Structures are given as C-alpha cells and as structure tokens.
C-alpha cells in the first residue's frame, strides 16, 4: 500500500526549496534542512512544527486530501518499489567485411613491372658470365689451428636461503555502536530539560551569565533566551527563581531526531531592578511545551512556550525584537 504522507528532511534541490514554497501554517519559506510533513496526493509540504500545532484542530485529518493520518504513520518507511526488468541481451553486430577490388589498370601495370624486373635481371647475369671468361677462380684458404680451451672451474652451487614466514597481521574488528532503547532516549531528553532549569536561573539572575545557554538551547529557543538576558542586563534587572516541582506529562518521539515534551512546573520568582526588589512576588503552577532536536548526536531545545490553559495550544511566539531596548 502506498503511503499518503511522510516526514522528510528537505534538501537544497528539493522542489519545495527550489520553487520557494511557503508553509501554509507558519507562512514562512521552506528551506534546506527543514523537517516537513509531505502530502503525496496534493504535493503540499507543511513544516513539522506547523503540523503539530494544527493537528488537534484538523481532527487527525489532512486538510488537503482529507485522509486520516497520524504523525506516527507518516514516519513509517516507504515500501520497496519493484525495479523494472532489464532488457534482453543483444550481442553486437560484427563489422561489415571490407573487400579490396583491383581495377584492370592496376593489374596491367603490375604485370609490366614484373616483366621489366625479369628482363633487367637476365641482362645482369649474362654480363657477369661474359666478364669471367667462362672460368671460375679457385681461392685457397689456410686451415685454422684450433686453440685448446682450459676447462673453467665449476661454479659454486647456489643454496637458497629459507625465508621465515611473517607473523599474521592483526585483524581489525569494528565494534558496533550501541542502540539506545526508547527509555534511554527519554532519560536523555529529561536530563536536557532539567539542565535548562539551572542554566536559565543563572542566565536571568544577578550577573547575566548566559555562557551556558548554548549547551542546552539552539535555533529560535536560544535567540529568544539571549534576547531576554540582554534586556535584563541593559535595564540593570534580574530575577531570582526557585523551582519547587516539575512533572513530565508526555514525551513523544516524532522521528529519530525530533521530540516534543510537555511538563508541569511549580515555580516562584521575584523581580529586582537597580538593586531594589520589586513588591511583586509570584508562585505559579503552569504547563510548558518543549520541542527538542538531535543535532550532531546531542539533544537540544529548539522551541519552548507556556501552554494556554484555555485553548490547550502553545501560542506562536512573537518576532524577536531588534533595535534599541526600551526599559520602560
């Protein structure tokens, strides 16, 4: 059965990238390296993040082909396609025979040349006989005396030197990489989110130390958090946060390199500016959604946001501000 939808990673020569198509949900141009959900029947590509945002609103159906589909089915491998049979073998044709045809003129010329050569040879032989007077002189040569040759001493017998066999070379056996189970992958993802809580508290706290943000954050999540830290540093402000409890509600592996996590947190925080503590103090329990991507063998948070309890969705983040910072 042919699969109607699949999750793929776009390449530089993908049709969606070459034609500069936009994601119908996120309204952004598709780029090389984006993970998208591709509807094969309509040829429409939706970013994986956009599909995840609208999956509940679409009630599990593709809005373009109206087929029932889930992301778990979309990442299943495509069935092997049969290969067309090879054409029958046809031996090459032999080259045509080349025949040499001699014209009558060439044959006549060759006969004339042979006759002339025989005539010249006969005249030469007759002249030699006449010059010799009909007698042949006898030449006497001295009989050579053979010189005795002393026998040469026998040559030394060659004795081959045995060659000791070389020791066998060591055989290299590649050790296969261990395959992680789903439980081990979930443990790695949970550890990244726990590490982010301490790294974030250090970044938004006194001193604005954001040097460790890149160890747990990448892409948009890193840009947003660095922008918040710059605002606090410019306005001479910081937060003191305390994480009391955190529960993991769900962990979904959408692909070998992409996962979504929902956690519930109980956290208290106070705001300080220019050395003075604000009167506002809060202790809240709220839910947060995290998107994680595996980059160069390491899991990183690439998107995060507080879940709106009224709608159940994480609102689309606003554009990252640029220009001068307003501390008002």
What is the CATH number for 53?
A: 3.30.40
Q: Quickly count helices (H) and strands (E) in the chain.
A: 6, 7
The residue among 74, 109, 131 that closes a domain is: 74
Q: Which of 40, 43, 46 is nearest to 22 (CA)?
A: 46
Average pLDDT in the chain: 76
In a domain, 86, yes or no: no
Q: Could you give the angle at which helices 182-204 and 219-234 cross, rounded to 10 degrees? A: 20
Q: Is the pLDDT of residue 32 over 90?
A: no
Residue 68 lies in a domain: yes
Distance between first and last Cα of the chain: 61
**Percentage of the chain surpassing pLDDT 70?**
67
pLDDT (average), residues 146-167 = 58
Report yes or no: 7 and 254 within 8 Å, Cβ to Cβ.
yes
Residue 78 pLDDT grade (very low, low, confident, very high; cuts 50, 70, 90): very low
Residue among 12, 5, 51, 7 at smallest CA distance from 33:
12
Q: What is the pLDDT of residue 328?
A: 58
**Based on the structure, what is the number of domains in the chain?**
2
Taking only the tens place, the pLDDT of each residue in 117-143 is: 878 877 766 565 555 544 444 545 556
**Is 150 contained in some domain?**
no
What CA–CA distance (Å, rounded) separates 143 from 299?
A: 106
- pLDDT for 162 equals 61
pLDDT of residue 271 exceeding 80, the answer is yes
What pLDDT shows up at residue 137? 47
Helix (H, G, I), strand (E, B) or coil at 252: strand
* Cα distance between residue 18 and residue 29, in whole Å: 11
Digit-coded pLDDT (tens) for 99-115: 556 567 778 888 888 88
Q: Which of 74, 89, 108 is the last residue of a domain?
A: 74
Residue 325, pLDDT score: 64
Is pLDDT at 244 greater than 70 in this prediction?
yes
Longest CA–CA span in the chain (Å) reads: 152
With 90 as the cut, is the pLDDT of residue 192 above it? yes
User: What backbone phi and psi angles, to 5 degrees, belong to 227?
Assistant: -65, -40
Residue 92 lies in a domain: no
Q: Provide the residue range defining the domain that includes 23.
A: 5-74
* CA dist., res. 53 & res. 316, Å (int): 9
Q: Is residue 81 pLDDT above 70, yes or no? A: no
pLDDT at 143: 63
| Radius of gyration from C-alpha coordinates of the chain | 46
CA distance 111 to 118: 11
pLDDT-derived band of residue 170, with 50, 70 and 90 as boundaries?
low
More confident residue, 157 or 179: 179
159 or 245, higher pLDDT:
245
Residue-level pLDDT at 315:
55
The mean per-residue pLDDT over the stretch 178-187 comes to 81
Q: How far is CA 24 from the centre of its chain?
A: 27
Q: Helix, strand, or coil here: 142? A: coil
Task: Report the length, in residues, of the chain.
Answer: 328
**pLDDT computed for residue 266 by the predictor:** 92
**pLDDT above 90 as % of the chain:** 20
Average of per-residue pLDDT across 147-156: 55
Domain at 238, CATH number: 3.10.450.240
Q: What CA–CA distances, in Å, run from 47 to 25, 258, 280, 305?
A: 8, 12, 40, 18
- Domain final residue pick, 32, 52, 74: 74
Strand order in the sheet with 5-9: 5-9, 35-39, 44-47
What is the pLDDT, as a whole number, of residue 22?
Answer: 79
């Amino acid at each position: 059965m042919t699969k109607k939808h699949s999750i793929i990673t776009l390449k530089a020569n993908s049709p969606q990238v070459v034609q500069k198509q936009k994601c119908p949900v996120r309204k952004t141009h598709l780029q090389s390296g984006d993970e998208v959900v591709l509807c094969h029947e309509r040829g429409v590509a939706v970013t994986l993040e956009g599909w995840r945002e609208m999956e509940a609103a679409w009630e599990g159906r593709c809005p373009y082909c109206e087929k029932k589909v889930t992301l778990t089915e979309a990442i299943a491998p495509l069935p092997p396609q049969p290969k067309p049979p090879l054409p029958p073998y046809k031996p090459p044709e032999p080259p045509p025979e080349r025949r040499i045809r001699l014209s009558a003129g060439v044959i006549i010329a060759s006969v004339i040349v042979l006759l002339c050569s025989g005539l010249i040879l006969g005249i030469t032989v007759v002249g030699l006989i006449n010059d010799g007077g009909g007698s042949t002189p006898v030449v006497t040569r001295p009989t050579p005396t053979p010189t005795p040759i002393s026998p040469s001493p026998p040559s030394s017998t060659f004795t081959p030197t045995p060659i000791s066999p070389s020791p066998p070379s060591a055989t290299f056996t590649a050790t296969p990489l261990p395959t992680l189970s789903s439980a081990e992958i979930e443990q790695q993802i949970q550890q990244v989110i726990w590490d982010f809580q301490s790294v974030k508290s250090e970044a938004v706290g006194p001193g604005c130390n954001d040097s460790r943000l890149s160890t747990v954050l990448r892409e948009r999540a890193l840009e947003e958090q660095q922008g918040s830290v710059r605002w606090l540093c410019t306005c001479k402000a910081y937060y003191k946060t305390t994480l009391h409890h955190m529960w993991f509600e769900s962990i979904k592996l959408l692909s070998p390199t992409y996962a979504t996590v929902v956690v519930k947190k109980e956290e208290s925080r106070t705001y300080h500016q220019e050395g003075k503590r604000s009167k506002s103090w809060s202790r809240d329990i709220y839910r947060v959604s995290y998107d994680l991507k595996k980059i160069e063998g390491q899991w990183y948070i690439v998107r995060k946001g507080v879940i709106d309890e009224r709608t159940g969705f994480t609102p689309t983040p606003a554009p990252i501000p640029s220009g001068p910072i307003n501390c008002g």
